[in-house]
C-alpha cells in the first residue's frame, strides 16, 4: 500500500485536488475455517497488505470511483436502483447503501483506490475494500457514529446484499479490528474477542499461494452454508435450542444421521470438529505449545479437503510437501476452492521448505506458487 501512488493517481484522475486517505488490511486466519457463519470461533489476524483509498466529497449526489489497479472508472448514484454492474464498484456501492441504511447521510464523492492484497487468494481483498470505505464514510459523512462492530457488519451485509456471498463476519471483523503483532480470537456469535500477541519464537508463518482461482467459489460457499443450516434444522426437532452448529456435538449429529444427506452430514462433522480445534489451539497458544497448534492445522486441512471438500489438487499437493518437509502445521486458508495454504514452519526448515515447494509445484503444475511472509498489521485507519 503506497500513499504516494494513490495520491498521485487521485490528483491526476480528478481535478488536481486532494482528499483523505484511508486503508484497511486483508487477513490471515490461523485456524477456524467456515466456523464463523456457524456461530463458532475463529482466529484471524490483519496483515500488512490491504486496500488504500483516497476520498473527497464532491458536492454532488454521484460517486466517481477509479480503480487504479484495473485502470477502470465508474460513476454511480446512491439510490438502490443505481447499483453499478461492474463487480469492484458494487463493493463500494454496497457499503454506501449499508451506511445509508444505518442513518449515515452519504453524499457523492470522488475516490481512487489501489491494493496490494492479492485478489482471490483467500486473504480477503474484498473485506479490505469494504472496511476501507465503511471506515471512511463513517468519518466523512457519519461523525463516527457507527461503532467498529457495526462497521464490520456493513462489510458483511455488502457481501450478502450486493455481491451474493453469504459470508460470515470473520474477514470484515479482522480487517476493522486488526492490531499489529496480535491475532484475534473471536466468538462469532457474541462478537466477544480477545487479542493474542503472536510472536512464536523460532517459527515463521508463511503463505503459499496456489494461484488457483475458482469461478464458482461463491455459489459453492453458499452451498456449504446451506448444508450446515439443513443439519441445524434437523437437530432442532429434538433440540429446539440449537441455533447454530456451535451448539451441537457429534452425538447430536449421529441422531440425525438418517435424516440428512450424507454430504450435509460430512459438512457438519467438519464444522463441529473445527470449532473444537479453535479452542484447543487457543489453549495451546497460551502454553506456547506450537506443536499442538501445528497438528490441529493439519487436522483442519484434512477436514477441509475430505469432509468439507473445499480444497483442490494444488492445495493438497502443497499440504503434502509441508508434511514431507517436517513443517509444524499447514492447511488451506480461507474459504477454499483455491488460494493459499498457511504454514507454521520452524526457522531452520524455512528455506528448504520454500525451495522444495517451489520446485515440486513447478514440476507438477508448470508454474511456481507465490510466497508471502506473514506480517500481522493494524486494522482500518485514516492514513494521514
Ligand atoms: C470466507 C468468508 C468468511 C469465512 C471464510 C471461511 O473468507 O468471507 O466469512 O467463512 O471464508 O472460514
- Percent of the chain topping pLDDT 90: 96
48-72 residue pLDDT tens: 999 999 999 999 999 999 999 999 9
Each residue's pLDDT tens digit, 155-182? 999 999 999 999 999 999 999 999 999 9
- Asked if 171 is an active-site residue, the reply is yes
How far, in Å, from the CA of 124 to the mean position of ligand 1?
8
**H/E run at residue 6:** helix 3-13
Q: Does the pLDDT value for residue 81 go beyond 90? A: yes
Which run of H or E residues covers position 219? helix 217-236
**Atom of ligand 1 at shortest range from CA of 335:** 11
Work out the pLDDT band at 1, boundaries 50, 70, 90: confident
Instruction: Evaluate whether 350 touches 327 at the Cβ level (below 8 Å).
Output: no
**Residue 215 above 80 pLDDT?**
no
Distance 104 CA to ligand 1 centre (A): 27
Give pLDDT, residue 217: 73
Of 28, 311, 335, 342, the one to substitute when testing ligand 1's pocket (max ligand atoms within 8 A of C-beta) is 335
Question: Residue range 268-295: average pLDDT?
Answer: 97
- H or E stretch at 51: strand 44-57
Name the grid cell of 115.
491494493
* Minimal-distance CA residue to ligand 1 atom 10: 34
pLDDT tens-digit series, residues 296-324? 999 999 999 999 999 999 999 999 999 99
* Contact call for residues 203 and 344 (beta carbons, < 8 A): yes
**Average pLDDT, integer, range 228-245:** 98
Ligand 1 pocket, 278 CB below 6 A?
A: no
Length of the chain: 384
Q: Does ligand 1 come within 6 angstroms of the Cβ of 98?
A: no
- pLDDT tens digits, residue range 314-353? 999 999 999 999 999 999 999 999 999 999 999 999 999 9
pLDDT at 231 exceeding the cut of 80 = yes
Q: How far is the CA of 363 from the centre of ligand 1 (A)?
A: 31
Q: What is the mean pLDDT of residues 273-287?
A: 96
Look at the pTM and tell me if it is higher than 0.95: yes
* CB-ligand 1 contact for 118 (6 Å cutoff): no
- Dig out the grid coordinates for 133 from the structure: 470505505
Pairing state between β 62-67 and 109-115: parallel
Q: Are 310 and 220 spatial neighbours (Cβ–Cβ below 8 Å)?
A: yes
Structural contact between residues 24 and 380, judged by C-beta atoms closer than 8 angstroms = yes
Task: Quote the CA–CA distance of 329 and 206 in Å, as a whole number.
Answer: 11
Average pLDDT rounded to a whole number, residues 105-112: 98
30-48 tens-digit pLDDT: 999 999 999 999 999 999 9
Please tell me the distance between residue 159's alpha carbon and the centre of ligand 1 in angstroms.
11
Q: Is the pLDDT of residue 216 over 70?
A: no
Q: Long-range contact list for 188-192, CB < 8 A, 24+ apart?
A: 188/35, 188/36, 188/37, 188/38, 188/39, 188/40, 188/41, 188/42, 189/39, 189/40, 189/243, 189/244, 189/246, 191/149
Q: Are 147 and 119 in contact (CB under 8 A)?
A: no
Q: Report percent pLDDT > 70 for the chain.
A: 99
Active-site option among 82, 105, 147, 171: 171
Amino acid at each position: 500500500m503506497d500513499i504516494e501512488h494513490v495520491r498521485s493517481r487521485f490528483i491526476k484522475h480528478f481535478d488536481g485536488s486532494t482528499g483523505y486517505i484511508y486503508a484497511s488490511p486483508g487477513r490471515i486466519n490461523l485456524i477456524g475455517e467456515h466456523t464463523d457463519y456457524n456461530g463458532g470461533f475463529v482466529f484471524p489476524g490483519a496483515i500488512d497488505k490491504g486496500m488504500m483509498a483516497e476520498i473527497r466529497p464532491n458536492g454532488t449526489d454521484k460517486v466517481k470511483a477509479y480503480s487504479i489497479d484495473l485502470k477502470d472508472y465508474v460513476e454511480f448514484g446512491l439510490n438502490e436502483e443505481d447499483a453499478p454492474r461492474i463487480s469492484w464498484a458494487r463493493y463500494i456501492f454496497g457499503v454506501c447503501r449499508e451506511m445509508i441504511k444505518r442513518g449515515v447521510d452519504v453524499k457523492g464523492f470522488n475516490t481512487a483506490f489501489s491494493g496490494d492484497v492479492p485478489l482471490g487468494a483467500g486473504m480477503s481483498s474484498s473485506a479490505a475494500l469494504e472496511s476501507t470505505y465503511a471506515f471512511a464514510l463513517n468519518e466523512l459523512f457519519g461523525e463516527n457514529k457507527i461503532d467498529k462492530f457495526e462497521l464490520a457488519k456493513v462489510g458483511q451485509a455488502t457481501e450478502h446484499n450486493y455481491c451474493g456471498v453469504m459470508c460470515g463476519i470473520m474477514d470484515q471483523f479482522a480487517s476493522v479490528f486488526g492490531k499489529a503483532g496480535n491475532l484475534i480470537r473471536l466468538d462469532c456469535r457474541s462478537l466477544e474477542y480477545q487479542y493474542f500477541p503472536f510472536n512464536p519464537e523460532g517459527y515463521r508463518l508463511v503463505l503459499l499461494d496456489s494461484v488457483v482461482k475458482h469461478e464458482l467459489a461463491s455459489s459453492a460457499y453458499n452451498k456449504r452454508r446451506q448444508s450446515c443450516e439443513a443439519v441445524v434444522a434437523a437437530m432442532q426437532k429434538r433440540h429446539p435450542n440449537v441455533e447454530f452448529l456451535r451448539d451441537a456435538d457429534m452425538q447430536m449429529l449421529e441422531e440425525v444421521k438418517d435424516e440428512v444427506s450424507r454430504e450435509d452430514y460430512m459438512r457438519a462433522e467438519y464444522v463441529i470438529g473445527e470449532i473444537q480445534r479453535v479452542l484447543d489451539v487457543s489453549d495451546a497458544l497460551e502454553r506456547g505449545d506450537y506443536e499442538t497448534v501445528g497438528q490441529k492445522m493439519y487436522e483442519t486441512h484434512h477436514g477441509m479437503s475430505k469432509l468439507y471438500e473445499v480444497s483442490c489438487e494444488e492445495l493438497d499437493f502443497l499440504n503434502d510437501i509441508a508434511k514431507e518437509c517436517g513443517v509444524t502445521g499447514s492447511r488451506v486458508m480461507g474459504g477454499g476452492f483455491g488460494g493459499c495454504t498457511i504454514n507454521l514452519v520452524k526457522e531452520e526448515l524455512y528455506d528448504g521448505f520454500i525451495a522444495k515447494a517451489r520446485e515440486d509445484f513447478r514440476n507438477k503444475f508448470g508454474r511456481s506458487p507465490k510466497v508471502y511472509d506473514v506480517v500481522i498489521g493494524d486494522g482500518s485507519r485514516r492514513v494521514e
